[in-house]
């Protein structure tokens, strides 16, 4: 592998990590708006807009796990934790700072929009920690078991389990903190999980496409990964 290819691999890794972190932080900031979606009138999904960027994080961790290995995928997860904590600090400081009279957004409006974000970030982080590490662990369990074959199986199975853990944990904690009423717990859990399952199934071709392009570009065999050790020992 040439030096140019190694630099390209590192650049793509950073881009995927940046998209992952941006999706995670954005989902924590916009969670208070809820919407409905009725595909073909078959079922009415009632879910938070914060769920929209979240499946991207699981797609990216699956790509990173498959191509860059478990260790580098976990590094991105840890980076996401620190990004969430930093965004939480910025929100707390901004909410505490008094608005001037001519400010387009006053203190009440700002607090109404972002005041619950710290609790949301905390609930999301707890769910995120469980779900992402479970996703990566299950993904690699199935990868080892199938000897690198059946990508669709480990992608969907790991995502289904981790997404249920994530959905249940975050909604449960938001209800515990009285941000959401218990009356809508079951409906949000079902809608949120089903939505994520549908997205996970739909993104499987994207995962296959990404893995195919990576393996073709970097000449990776079925069980090769772009780990630091692999890149370092390639000439």
pLDDT recorded at residue 52:
83
Dump the DSSP string for 149-212. Answer: --HHHHHHHHHHHHHHHHHHHHHHHHHHTTSS-GGGHHHHHHHHHHHHHHHHHHTHHHHHHHHH
Whether pLDDT at 234 is above 70: no
Q: What is the pLDDT of residues 81-114, one digit of tens each?
A: 888 888 888 888 998 999 999 999 999 988 888 7
Residues 228 and 18: their CA atoms lie apart, in Å, by: 19
pTM for this predicted structure = 0.82
Q: What is the pLDDT of residues 143-174, one digit of tens each?
A: 777 777 777 777 777 778 888 888 888 888 88
Task: Read off the CATH number of the domain in which 19 is found.
Answer: 1.10.1760
pLDDT recorded at residue 99:
92
Burial of 79 (0-12, 13-18, 19+ CB in 10 A): middle
- Give the bridge partners for 35, in sequence order: 47
Q: How many domains does the chain have?
A: 1
For residue 78, give its domain range. Answer: 3-233
Task: Give, in order, the Cα–Cα distances in Å from 15 to each of 22, 91, 133, 140.
Answer: 11, 25, 21, 22
> Which segments of 97-150 does DSSP mark as H helices, in order?
107-114, 117-145
Token pair of 61, please? 């961790």
């Amino acid at each position: 592998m040439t030096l140019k290819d190694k630099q390209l691999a590192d650049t793509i890794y950073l881009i995927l990590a940046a998209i992952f972190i941006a999706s995670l932080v954005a989902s924590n900031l916009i969670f208070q708006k809820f919407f409905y979606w009725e595909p073909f009138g078959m079922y009415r999904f009632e879910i938070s807009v914060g769920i929209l960027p979240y499946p991207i994080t699981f797609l990216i961790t699956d790509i990173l796990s498959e191509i860059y290995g478990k260790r580098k995928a976990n590094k991105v997860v840890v980076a996401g934790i620190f990004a969430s904590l930093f965004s939480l600090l910025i929100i707390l400081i901004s909410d505490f700072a008094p608005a001037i009279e001519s400010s387009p957004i006053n203190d009440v409006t700002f607090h109404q929009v972002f005041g619950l974000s710290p609790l949301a970030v905390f609930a999301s982080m707890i769910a995120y920690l469980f779900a992402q590490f479970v996703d990566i662990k299950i993904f690699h369990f199935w990868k080892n078991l199938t000897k690198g074959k059946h990508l669709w199986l480990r992608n969907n199975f790991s995502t289904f389990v981790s997404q249920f853990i994530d959905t249940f944990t975050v909604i449960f904690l938001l209800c515990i903190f009285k941000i959401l009423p218990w009356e809508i717990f079951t409906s949000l859990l079902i809608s949120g999980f089903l939505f994520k399952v549908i997205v996970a199934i739909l993104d499987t071709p994207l995962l296959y496409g990404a893995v195919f392009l990576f393996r073709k570009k970097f000449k990776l065999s079925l069980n090769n990964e772009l780990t630091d050790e692999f890149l370092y020992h390639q000439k």
